[in-house]
Amino acid sequence: MIHCANPLAQFQSHQAEIELAIRQVLDNGRYILGPELEALEHEFAEYIGVSHAIGVANGTDALELAFRALDIGPGDEVITVSHTAVATVAAIEAAGATPVLVDVEPEYYTLAAAQLSEVVTARTRAVVAVHLYGQPANMDAIVEFCRDRKLALVEDVSQAHGARWKGRRLGSLGEFGCFSCYPTKNLGAIGDAGLIVTCDPTLAARVRMLREYGWRDRYISEFGGRNSRLDELQAAILRVKLRHLDEDNAKRRDLAARYTERLAPQGFQLPSVRPGAEHVFHLYVTRVRERARQIEHLKQLGIQAGIHYPVPVHLQPAYKGRIRTAPAMCYTEALADEILSLPLYPEIGPGQVDEVVQALKTFSSIARRHG
């Protein structure tokens, strides 16, 4: 089986280092908010190029705590995209704010900055730029829009650990950068985990308090908070994987280039890289016709493909009819019927990429014969 993503292979590639790190945590006897987390926070902040990193329980919490640290809540609106993991929108609502959704660019699948002016109101407090599939959003336009209107900018970097925009790591361009470290991510734990980064010491201190009941001093809540702590085991595992992140991202880019080189002559609609961006290919997403048949064809050959994501947030049962959107959502809605994520992770072999390519070519040949 060729998996779409394979966290087990990631563990096995760094197994000796990870097992040693786990053993050290177990022997240390400090399992929550200990030295491993402190070290991870320091190392990750340095990696991103910011002053502060805060470990939390997961990526959704990272976004919610960022909004709460910015005092965004009931009565406030936050603009983001509908073509994203539902977690982005769920976090806005968890903070008590109201999501407002815009379309994506047809070429890069990230936030259509031109639509921001169509939906902004006096209640708008922030924009969430989602760096989808490892591709940076159009940060020049988004940063300018937020600066001109005095809005907070929160980066959802859950699919783009290590990516750069014009030389700067994603996560360093807004008030907050929020990262999921779910096992399939470019920087993935063995379980749930998340990270928040910022250059603002006041915001960083507030997030640290929010993640643990609003405590500055233990057992004394200065304001309402919650429990969203990143444990020592996951922190130790992430420290190991962080050391290999750039190398693993380079492997992802090489594999993506192999797909592109072999599929482009066949007329496949393949991902584009935005000028000025360093893409890290969390996912390699194509656009295809007859997607259900293609997925079944690949499955029969032992190849697992994915769909990220099959239904836009604004059309999902939980949100349909109650979330305000931009007047036109045509690209988001068209993509949902056509996108297909091909297998890609650092440990996949070039020969396996070639197997996937050949399977796609075979399907195209069969489809042409049958008209």
Residue 282 makes CB contacts below 8 A (sequence gap 6+) with 133, 134, 159, 160, 161, 185, 186, 252
pLDDT at 143 over 70: yes
What is the chain's mean pLDDT, rounded? 97
Any idea which fold 7-102+109-239 has?
Aspartate Aminotransferase; domain 2 (3.40.640)
CATH 3.40.640.10 placement within the chain: 7-102+109-239
At position 227, the amino acid (one-letter code) is N
Largest CA distance in the chain: 72
Any idea which fold 245-369 has?
Aspartate Aminotransferase, domain 1 (3.90.1150)
* Mean pLDDT across 61-85: 98
pLDDT at 237 over 60: yes
For residue 80, what are the CA distances in angstroms to 40, 77, 151? 29, 10, 13
pLDDT at 327 over 70: yes
pLDDT at 369 over 80: no
According to the model, what pLDDT value does residue 272 have? 97
* pLDDT tens column, 31-72: 999 999 999 999 999 999 999 999 999 999 999 999 999 999
> How many Cα atoms are found within 13 Å in the side-chain-facing hemisphere of 290?
14
Residue 3 makes CB contacts below 8 A (sequence gap 6+) with 9, 304, 343, 345
pLDDT at 367 over 80: no
**Whole-angstrom distance, CA of residue 228 vs CA of residue 178:** 14
% of the chain exceeding 70 in pLDDT: 98
**CA 98 to chain CA mean position, Å:** 21
pLDDT at 368 over 70: no
At which residue do the structure tokens 């070639």 appear? Answer: 354
* pLDDT tens column, 1-16: 999 999 999 999 999 9
* pLDDT tens column, 265-321: 988 899 999 999 999 999 999 999 899 999 999 999 999 999 999 999 999 999 999
HEC assignment per residue over the chain: CECCCCHHHHHHHCHHHHHHHHHHHHHHCCCECCHHHHHHHHHHHHHHCCCEEEEECCHHHHHHHHHHHCCCCCCCEEEEECCCCHHHHHHHHHCCCEEEEECECCCCCCECHHHHHHHCCCCEEEEEEECHHHCCCCHHHHHHHHHHHCCEEEEECCCCCCCEECCEECCCCCCEEEEECCCCCCCCCCCCCEEEEECCHHHHHHHHHHCECCEEECCEECCCCCECCCEHHHHHHHHHHHHHHHHHHHHHHHHHHHHHHHHHHHCCECCCCCCCEECCCCCEEEECCCHHHHHHHHHHCCECCECCCCCCHHHCCCCCCCCEECCCCHHHHHHHCCEEEECCCCCCCHHHHHHHHHHHHHHHHHHHHCC
According to the model, what pLDDT value does residue 364 have? 77
Cβ–Cβ under 8 Å, residues 196 and 174? no
Cβ–Cβ under 8 Å, residues 162 and 24? no
The pTM assigned to this predicted structure is: 0.97
Cβ–Cβ under 8 Å, residues 277 and 173? no
Neighbours of 194 (CB within 10 A): 28
CATH 3.90.1150.10 placement within the chain: 245-369
According to the model, what pLDDT value does residue 307 have? 98
